[in-house]
Amino acid sequence: MLSQAAEDYLKSIYKLQEKGGKVSTGVLAEFLNVKPASVTGMIKKLKSMKLIKYERYHGVTLTNAGKAIALEVIRHHRLLELYLFKALGMPWDGVHDEAEKLEHVISEDMEERMDAYLGYPTSDPHGSPIPDKNGVVPKTASIPMTSLQDGQSCVVAEVNDSDSALLRHLGSFNLYPGTRFRVIEVAPFEGPFTIDVAGQQAVIGREVAKHIFVDDIHDT
Amino acid sequence: MLSQAAEDYLKSIYKLQEKGGKVSTGVLAEFLNVKPASVTGMIKKLKSMKLIKYERYHGVTLTNAGKAIALEVIRHHRLLELYLFKALGMPWDGVHDEAEKLEHVISEDMEERMDAYLGYPTSDPHGSPIPDKNGVVPKTASIPMTSLQDGQSCVVAEVNDSDSALLRHLGSFNLYPGTRFRVIEVAPFEGPFTIDVAGQQAVIGREVAKHIFVDDIHDT
DNA sequence: TGTAAAATTTAGTTATGCCTAAATATTTTT
DNA sequence: AAAAATATTTAGGCATAACTAAATTTTACA
Ligand SMILES: [Mn+2]
Ligand SMILES: [Mn+2]
Ligand SMILES: [Mn+2]
Ligand SMILES: [Mn+2]
C-alpha cells in the first residue's frame, strides 16, 4: 500500500500537470506546503516505483500507473465531498478538509456504496468532475469568469474548493454550480464585476472571479 | 494531535483494563500485534504525555486524560460501525475494519452529524455500547453464553466484532443482537450448544459461544 | 559569453514507530 | 533462598517523511 504522503504527491502532480505539462520541484513544494528538498526525496521514491518520470533538475510527469493512482485518489476525494454534502448535510465549505483526510483510508467497497447512493454522480459540490471507476474524467468546458464581458449571462460551472472562506463568501451570493447570473458591469482597469444573481446584485472582485469558472454563455 | 498509533494504544489499554486492572506490556503487545519492546517505547511516550500511569516492569493504567481519549476513539469507532451499517448498508462483518481506519480521521463535526442521523444511538451493530459525547458508557449487564443451561431462553446482547468470519457464521444462524434463542441442549464434557432460533435449530461450538454475550434469561 | 541569480539536489539531522538481540528484573519452582 | 523460567527493558537498527544548510546545476541577463 502507498503512503498517504505519496498519494498526495501523485494527486498534486496530476493537478499541476493539467495546467502546465512538466511539474517543477519548486511548484510542487509550494503546492504541498513542504520544502523543495523534501520534494526531491519523495520524487526519487516515486520514480523508483515507476509512478513518475523524472530527470534531475527538469521536473516530473506521471506515468500511466501514477496517473491511475492520482485519479483514484481524486475520485475518492470528490465522491466523499458530495457524499458528506448530500448524506450528512455538511456545508460546501467544510467538505474539502474532511475529504482530504478520508480519501486515503476508505475501502473500494465504501467508494462503491457512496457512488451507488449518490446515483453515480459526475461532479462534486464545487463542480469538479468525478473520475469514473476506470479513471475516465467527464469532459468539462468551462471558462474563467474573468473573461466575461458586460451584459453576458452564464452559469457557474466550477469553483475552487480548497479555500473555505472563499466558499462561504460565494455562498452568501448563492453562487453555487448551476446558478445562472448576468454581468451588469465590468469595471475598467481590471476592476470588479457587478453581477445579477436571481434579482440580487453582487460585486465580485477580480481575485475572487479568478476562482470561478462558468459555462453556457449568452449575450443579452 | 495524537498519532493513530498512540490512539490505538490508549483504546487497547482501555479495553484490556476493563477486564483486569493493570495492563502488562506482554498482553498489550499481543493485543496490538506488535513486539513487547515496541510497547515499552510507546508507553514511555504516553507516560510523558500524562495519558497513562506506568512503573517499569509493573504495567500501565490510563489517567483520566488518557481514558477520555480512549473513549472518544471508541465512540468514533462504534458510531462509524453503526453508520456504515445503516446508512451505507455495509454488512456487519465488514464495518469493523472500515471503522478501524476511519476512527482516527473523522472530525468532531462528522461525529455529531452521524450521531444525529442515527438518532443518538447507544449501541453498535455488534451490541457494544456507544459512549456519549461526555465519555459516559451506557451500562450493559450481559453474561457469557457459555454459562447457559439446558432449556434457558435468552436474547443476544453483544458479540465480538473483530473476527469477520465469526460474524458471518453467526449471521448464517440469524444470531444478531436482539435475537432471542432457546438452549435445547448443552452437550456434556464442555460440548457444543444446540439452540433454537426462531424455529431453526443450530449447533454452536464452545469456541464460538465464548464470543457471544446474552441478556434477559428465562427458564422454560 | 561569462557571471549573477534562481532553482534544485545532496548531505546530514530529527521524530515516529516499528524491529531483533542482549541485558535485566520479576516470578516461579525446587 | 537460590536457580530457572518468564517478562520486560535497553541498545542498536531500519523505514518514512519532514527539515536546514551547503553544493551544484540551470537560467537569465549584462
Ligand atoms: Mn476538494
Ligand atoms: Mn490528502
Ligand atoms: Mn469494532
Ligand atoms: Mn485504529
Distance B51 CA to ligand 2 centre (A): 29
CA distance A104 to A112: 15
DSSP class of B136: P
Q: What is the mean pLDDT of each run of 10 residues along chain B (220 residues)?
A: 96 94 96 98 97 95 98 98 98 97 98 98 98 95 93 96 93 96 94 94 94 94
CA dist B213 and A13 (Å) reads 51
pLDDT in tens, A105-130: 999 999 999 999 999 999 999 999 99
Give the amino acid at A76. Answer: H
**DSSP 8-state code for residue A89:** -
Give the residue nearest to nucleotide D24 (CA to C1').
A57
pLDDT of residue B118: 98
> How many contiguous H segments (helices) and E segments (strands) does chain A have?
8, 8
Could you count the other beta carbons within 10 Å of the beta carbon of residue A154? 22
For the segment A53-75, the average pLDDT, to the nearest whole number, is 97
pLDDT score for B145: 96
**What pLDDT, on the 0 to 100 scale, is given for residue A1?**
85
Of B90, B101, B110, Cβ closest to residue A88? B110
Residue A162 pLDDT > 90: no
Give the whole-angstrom CA distance, residue A190 versus residue A193: 9
Cβ contact A181:A149 at 8 Å = no
**How far does CA B220 lie from the centroid of its chain?**
30
Burial class (CB in 10 A: 0-12, 13-18, 19+), A179: middle
> Mean pLDDT, chain A, as a whole number?
96
Which chain A residues are closer than 8 Å to B87 by Cβ? 87
Backbone angles phi, psi at B203, to 5 degrees: -110, 125
3-class secondary-structure state, position A138 = coil
Give B141 to chain A, closest Cα distance, Å.
33
% of chain A at pLDDT higher than 90:
95
Which of helix, strand or coil describes residue B170? helix
Q: Cα–Cα distance between A127 and B65 in angstroms, integer?
A: 43
Distance in Å from the first CA to the final CA of chain A: 54
Instruction: Kindly report, residue by residue over A83-106, the tens digit of the pLDDT.
Output: 999 999 999 999 999 999 999 999
- Name the closest ligand to CA B96: 3
pLDDT recorded at residue A20: 84
Cβ within 8 Å of residue A87, ≥6 positions away: A114, A117, B87, B117
Among residues B37, B44, B46, B91, the alpha carbon closest in space to that of A109 is found at: B91
pTM of the model: 0.94
> In this structure, which ligand is nearest to the CA of B97?
3
Mean pLDDT over A145-152 rounds to: 94
Question: In this structure, what DSSP letter does residue A91 have?
Answer: -
What pLDDT, on a 0 to 100 scale, did the predictor assign at position B20?
A: 83
Instruction: Using an 8 Å CB-CB cutoff, list chain A residues near B113.
Output: 88-90
